[in-house]
């Protein structure tokens, strides 16, 4: 007789490896929900950034919100030129308050940029070009404007 029980497989020297457990398939639902949330946040942020504009009271009039005591009778607001302005487009009319009669177009362009970069020394917070227009009683900008014109005449442009 043999040492084996009936119904057992014949013995061999190699051990029998157990079968790997069968893993349940993972659900894709959390990944899909995360993708939709992420897409919604991106679209919402894009919409918000596109529609983010400053609001002015009463139909676009920026001075309507200021009290009448703070708004002078005559104010000229200077808006900067777009950066893509061609160099030849700057004329003497762009620099009111400056004596630009004898300047070349290159010197005029240099003066325009210099006067818009340098801050006026009177404490108004404007650059020299803005102060020449907005504050006719400024004690410092007329003298600085004459100095800048003299500097522009020395430029070899």
The more confident residue out of 50 and 3 is 50
**For residue range 87-130, what is the model confidence (pLDDT) as tens digits?**
556 777 778 888 888 888 888 888 888 988 888 888 888 888 88
**For residue range 14-35, what is the model confidence (pLDDT) as tens digits?**
677 778 788 778 888 989 999 9
Question: Roughly how many angstroms between the first and final C-alpha of the chain, as a whole number?
Answer: 118
Q: Are 109 and 90 in contact (CB under 8 A)?
A: yes
* Cβ contacts of 75 within 8 Å, gap of 6 or more: 63, 134
List residues bridging with 40 in a β-sheet: none
């Amino acid at each position: 007789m043999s040492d084996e029980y009936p119904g057992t497989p014949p013995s061999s020297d190699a051990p029998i490896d157990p079968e790997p457990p069968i893993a349940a398939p993972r659900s894709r639902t959390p990944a899909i929900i995360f993708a939709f949330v992420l897409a919604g946040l991106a679209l919402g942020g894009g919409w918000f950034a596109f529609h983010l504009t400053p609001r002015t009271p009463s139909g676009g009039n920026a001075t309507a919100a200021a009290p009448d005591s703070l708004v002078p009778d005559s104010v000229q607001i200077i808006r900067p030129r777009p950066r893509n302005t061609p160099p030849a487009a700057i004329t003497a009319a762009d620099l009111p308050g400056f004596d630009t009669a004898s300047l070349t177009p290159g010197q005029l362009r240099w003066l325009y940029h210099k006067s818009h970069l340098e801050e006026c020394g009177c404490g108004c917070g404007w650059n020299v070009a803005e102060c020449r227009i907005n504050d006719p009683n400024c004690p410092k900008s007329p003298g600085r404007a004459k100095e800048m014109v003299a500097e522009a005449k020395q430029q070899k442009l």
